[in-house]
Structure 1
Amino acid sequence: MRDISTRQDQFERRIKIFWIIIICGLLVLLGRIAWLQLIEGERYFRISKNSRLRLVPLPCSRGLILDRNGEKLAGNEAFFSVGVVPSNVTDIDELIKCLDEFLDIDKEIAKKRIQEANNIFRPVWAKRNIDLSAVTYLLEKEEDFPGTVILTQPVRSYYYDEMCAHVLGHVGEVNQEELTANSTFGVELGDLVGKMGVEKAYNSYLQGEKGGRQVEVDAHGRTLRVISEKDPLPGDSVYLTIDLEMQKIAAEKLGQRKGVVLIGDYETGEILTLVSHPTFNPNLFSWGVSEDEWSKLVQDPGDPLENRALRGEYPPASTFKVIVAAAALEDNIIGKEDTFFCGGELLVGNRIFKCWKEEGHGRLNLEEAIIDSCDVFFYQLGLKIGMDKIIQYSRLFELGEITGIDPVSEKDGLLPTREWKLKAKGEAWYPGDTVNLSIGQGFLLVTPVQMFRVIAAVANGGSLINPYLVKEVVDSQGKVVESFSPGRGKKIPISSSVFDFLGKSLRGVVREGTGWRAENKIVKIAGKTGTAESSDEERPHNWFIGYTLSD
């Protein structure tokens, strides 16, 4: 009986242990269910919802860029891309391998874009600009390419290629730094934004706002139905001050020579023509410039990406004599009929400074010196004025400062001072430096747009104009969003009689002096020539600044 009782006790203990295990298991299971429901429930609900719902971005059209007469300079053309929804891809390497077999994609870039996508439920492009046959093939075989979608996107098109490149600029894929900028609100990695020129400066107007379509998809990512949709908003159109016909003529006349043609209204500051050469084709960037193409551009010794009108810094040469003459007359350092003798050279210290005319000009007054661009006359005049006074008057014309035409990339040139030379060169300022300064050479550097401002001030009687490239911004409904008309800036504190004298002298330069090639039977032109010496390997920099006269 005792054995039977012992076995019964053992059996009951085992039953109790078994129930304890079952109860503990149930408690663990209930605890896990509670955790999933109460703590992780919202996250899993979101994942479940997103696994059947997709937000498909609808690209917006970038705003147009037009000339002052409404001629389109930059617009958009539609093209197809292959997109990949990262959350629907189980084997990235296999998918990329399959796509590469008929699309010839950049496998490394495509894989990186898919892996680093900000939102795994939104498509990222793997290959842009595919043809219609590739679109058809992908749609027919979509089950063989899980996670792929066809995207219809606008591509930027520049209708006159290189002709307006430095004015318009170009677009490119946004980088991380630009994503934080106010002008790129709502932009994601992979989107195109303005990178230079008007495209960059007015990107916030041109960009537009993307729309979106929420759709329900099946396990293969195929759309079952559209749940909701928001239409994209196109970007605003930008009207420039540029005149396309004038731009064409200027580009044709400049040809393949390295240089700038800059024409504007000396009363309003509107820029009518801006041509810089060498140039580039901005359409290269619309599709995503290749490494080879980019290397060619940045390694080209002609610097085709550089806008010489705004960023080229050059000695102004004899065009600077306009400011030197203004300083001399305004401060009564010389009279209009006072003369200096030019024998072809001038000894300053132990150095000889030559005139461009070897035999010299003889004795001549200020007007004659401007007309014939006599260097020796201005050497003597510069020494009499002094470098400090010359720099003072240069600042009245705001040399050494940006004009504001493009505050993003414009350069400010260089107005050398005694302090600058001591710091930059470790030397004092010598009389020979003043001699060079008086004919616009030596350390002095200006940009073409700065000299446009100088000659405009002479033409309009002494007001500094504010050069600008954009007239107005108009939305897709034709409503003017913003107009630009900076108007004249400050009045230069130089007497009107001095400006009248300069205008009369500059007319003489064209009529009978060094600027005779600009003489025209249709309109009267006043101006000043300049030839700046450069290094032995380079040709001199040739200048002409001028304006037309009304009868």
Structure 2
Amino acid sequence: MPSDRSDIDRRLRTWRIVMLCSMGLLIGALYYFQIIHGDSYIKLATGNRLRFVRFAPSRGNIYDRNGAPLATNIRTFDIMGYPLDLEKEQLVSKTSEILNKHGIPLTSEEIKNTVKRQYWAPYRVVRVVSNLTLTQMVDLIADPEFPPQLFPVPVWRRTYPSGALTANVTGYVAEISEDELKSKREGDYVGGDLIGKAGIEFSYESLLRGMPGEESIEVDARGRRVQEIDFKSPVKGKDIYLTLDLGAQRLSADLMKENRGSVVVLDVETGAVLVLYTAPSYDNNPLAWGVSAREWKSLLKDPERPMLDRSIAGVYPPASTFKPLVALSALEEGAITPKTTYFCGGSFQLGGRAFRCWKRGGHGTIGLKEALSQSCDVYFYQTGIKVGIDRLTRWGQKLGVGNLTGIDIPGELSGNRAGREWKEKVVKEVWYQGDTVNYSIGQGFLLMTPIQIARMYAVFANGGNLITPHLYRGEMVPPQKLNLSKNHIKTIHEGLVNVIKRGTGWRAGTFGVTVAGKTGTAQNAHGPDHALFAGYAPADKPRYVAVAVIEAGEHGSSAAAPIVGEVLAYLVGHDSLK
């Protein structure tokens, strides 16, 4: 009996060990299949059952103020595939061979990189080849060797009819980067999507983009379609209209010819931008369709700097176009009156240094309005000294000098208002009266962008309101009232009218419209002087303010003034036809 009991206990122990081992094996297997290789099997299962095709929306069109298209879409085709299929080396090599056979030079490595860049989930479609014409697409899929795992999808591609003429305004779209993907979590973006990179395309991405669509289908183990599970149509982006006048923009380009520089035109009351031309420029069409790293690098390193928007990011000494602000600050501060005169003998002596007037023989005894019309440097040397740099910079800030204008495209620079504190901080020197003398004629450390100068002149044109430039017709920031003396504004205005009637800017008034404005010739450390002109028209009831800056143009009176005069005449003339 004891031996039987012992035998039973031994058998039970054996069964316990067997059971424990079996459970251990089962747990190990579950861990192996569900934890270690769970993702692989889920991927295989999903890959055999579900497929998702994402349809990019058609972006909203961009038009100028008259309805001329600046950015539109055309239909092209992409060849798509699924990462699950494209992970197979044999398919990648075969795809590369068939593409090369049909004149599309893509290596296996390039295809792998393309898939990797867009990879989000193994069952979501990725783009293998972009921007095929209908002929190319038909030629490819008609080839018997074309992989059945790949398929064409019609897509919309961005095109810019005016190209380089408005590239700085419209900007361009390109494939979203990894950094942008991380920062756009709320925007339903995935790898391979196109996104606004500059200009209006960037600023109004949320309006222009639209909503992507998607189709989910069930397939069998061989990837053949079984049934559609869900379909959501893409929603086109919103069309937007700009304040830009394409005709005036084109005229500005024609008048600038081969020169470097910019032309800016604003509505003096609303800040609407009618011209924002920069030269040289770049064709944004290739950027929207894709350029190589070498081509992109070459564009960035071009010594002519075509991607620099000189209208909002080119910084120049404003030269004599700054004199009306000096005059206004002196009048507002009581440093001079409209009847104050100074004697100009051709130079102004300060300490042991003589600061010369542009007119060697001098202007004689001269008053404020005549000093503006004849651009007498000596008058403004003495006026600036009387006002002082602290008050000059304070008034400069009030009229937007050294501040961003707030225009609704990226890339604007603020220039440099300079002044006592700035010089001590940056140059590590105290401010001298000689610095104030240079400052008073718009030279020295002072730097402004063309759009800042235009904004400043709009204050003289509209009676004392500071406007905010804008390109989108649906956006407008109310002007800021500066509470300036109407009499002082009138005095400046009359002086600017005389610049055209009998002064240095007479060429601006030869196009059939009355103009008020000021010439400027800015010193250039890298070559001939820059030419500037700022003015507005019609002089009796100002509607538009314009600025032209020509790098190395030498003389504002002969190089820049006629451009501003003709562009203003074009816009005023077209207003009368409406």
TM-score normalized by the length of structure 2: 0.84
Sequence identity (%): 38
Tell me which of 184, 187, 209 is aligned to 1:207: 209
Whole-Å separation in 2 of the counterparts to 1:258 and 1:392: 32
Give 4+ residue runs of structure 1 displaced > 6 Å after superposition: 15-26, 32-43
State the Cα distance separating 1:295 from its structure 2 match.
2.5
State the Cα distance separating 1:226 from its structure 2 match.
2.4
Whole-Å separation in 1 of the counterparts to 2:399 and 2:76: 49
RMSD across aligned positions (CA): 3.0
Change (3 A) 1:543 1:220: farther
For residues 175-214 of structure 1, the aligned pairs below 5 Å read 175-182=177-184, 185-214=187-216
Change (3 A) 1:397 1:27: closer
- Measured against aligned partners, the alpha-carbon deviations of 1:35-93 in whole angstroms (never above 9, x if no partner) come to 79998999656742342210111111011111112222101111112223111235335
Q: Does 1:390 align with 2:380?
A: no
Tell me which of 490, 505, 508 is aligned to 1:500: 490
Change (3 A) 1:340 1:224: same
State the Cα distance separating 1:329 from its structure 2 match.
1.3
SS at match of 1:471: coil
Partner of 1:9 in structure 2?
A: none
SS at match of 1:54: strand
Whole-Å separation in 1 of the counterparts to 2:482 and 2:179: 41
Whole-Å separation in 2 of the counterparts to 1:387 and 1:183: 49
For residues 228-239 of structure 1, the aligned pairs below 5 Å read 228-239=230-241
Whole-Å separation in 2 of the counterparts to 1:122 and 1:81: 15
Is the 1:322–1:502 Cα contact (8 Å) retained in structure 2? Answer: yes
Whole-Å separation in 1 of the counterparts to 2:281 and 2:510: 29
Tell me which of 423, 426, 443 is aligned to 1:424: 426
Task: Give the residue type in structure 1 aligned to 2:100.
Answer: E
Is the 1:138–1:145 Cα contact (8 Å) retained in structure 2? Answer: no
State the Cα distance separating 1:223 from its structure 2 match.
3.3
- Measured against aligned partners, the alpha-carbon deviations of 1:144-186 in whole angstroms (never above 9, x if no partner) come to 5364232322110001111111111111111122223359711
Is the 2:321–2:518 Cα contact (8 Å) retained in structure 1? Answer: yes
Is the 2:454–2:534 Cα contact (8 Å) retained in structure 1? Answer: yes
State the Cα distance separating 1:278 from its structure 2 match.
0.6
Partner of 1:3 in structure 2?
A: none
Whole-Å separation in 2 of the counterparts to 1:209 and 1:312: 36
Whole-Å separation in 1 of the counterparts to 2:14 and 2:145: 50
Change (3 A) 1:426 1:157: same
Whole-Å separation in 2 of the counterparts to 1:202 and 1:51: 40
State how many pairs are aligned: 527
Which 5+ residue runs of structure 2 have no aligned equivalent? Answer: 1-10, 542-578
State the Cα distance separating 1:17 from its structure 2 match.
12
Partner of 2:572 in structure 1?
A: none
Task: Give the residue type in structure 1 aligned to 2:58.
Answer: S
Is the 1:269–1:487 Cα contact (8 Å) retained in structure 2? Answer: no
SS at match of 1:470: coil
For residues 484-523 of structure 1, the aligned pairs below 5 Å read 484-489=475-480, 491-520=481-510, 522-523=512-513
For residues 428-439 of structure 1, the aligned pairs below 5 Å read 428-439=430-441
Task: Give the residue type in structure 2 aligned to 1:519.
Answer: G
Partner of 2:5 in structure 1?
A: none
SS at match of 2:308: coil
Whole-Å separation in 2 of the counterparts to 1:248 and 1:315: 26
Whole-Å separation in 1 of the counterparts to 2:34 and 2:446: 74
Whole-Å separation in 2 of the counterparts to 1:364 and 1:85: 80
SS at match of 1:547: strand
Change (3 A) 1:455 1:184: farther
Partner of 1:67 in structure 2?
A: 64
- Measured against aligned partners, the alpha-carbon deviations of 1:426-461 in whole angstroms (never above 9, x if no partner) come to 111111111110000000011111111111110111
Change (3 A) 1:98 1:282: same
Segment of structure 1 superposing worse, 236-245 or 80-89: 80-89
Segment of structure 1 superposing worse, 333-342 or 260-269: 333-342
Whole-Å separation in 2 of the counterparts to 1:326 and 1:159: 44
Q: Does 1:94 align with 2:93?
A: yes
Change (3 A) 1:111 1:41: closer
Q: Does 1:440 align with 2:442?
A: yes
Partner of 2:568 in structure 1?
A: none
Partner of 1:359 in structure 2?
A: 361
Partner of 1:114 in structure 2?
A: 115
Which 5+ residue runs of structure 1 have no aligned equivalent? Answer: 1-14, 473-483
Whole-Å separation in 2 of the counterparts to 1:213 and 1:355: 74
Task: Give the residue type in structure 2 aligned to 1:544.
Answer: F
State the Cα distance separating 1:141 from its structure 2 match.
5.1
